[in-house]
Amino acid sequence: MSTDYTEPVFQQDIDTELEYATEGWKNFYEFFERLKAQGAPPELLFKISEITNIYKNLTDAITAIQPCFPVEKRR
């Protein structure tokens, strides 16, 4: 598979990545809550919390750059 580096990046591409990051954030938050309810060790909860925060920060960063990309024109 070859990547065409001249192909533009559109807002829709960024939107897709935002969806992935948001899903990751939701999933790890749910993992945290489930593990907490199951009595997981604090060290594991801390690590899961860190990953949750990484996803949250990622969603914030992607949202901040979203307006920088053009909206693809309909064909």
Please give the single-letter amino acid code of residue 44.
Answer: L
Q: Are 66 and 17 in contact (CB under 8 A)?
A: no
What pTM did the predictor assign?
Answer: 0.84
Tokens representing 15 are 């939107």
Query: Within its chain, how far is the Cα of 38 from the centroid?
Result: 26
pLDDT tens by residue, 3-19: 899 999 999 999 999 99
pLDDT tens by residue, 22-55: 999 999 999 999 999 999 999 999 999 999 999 9
Query: From CA 49, how far away is CA 28, in angstroms rounded?
Result: 8
H-assigned helices in 5-41:
11-37
What is the reported pLDDT for 5? 94
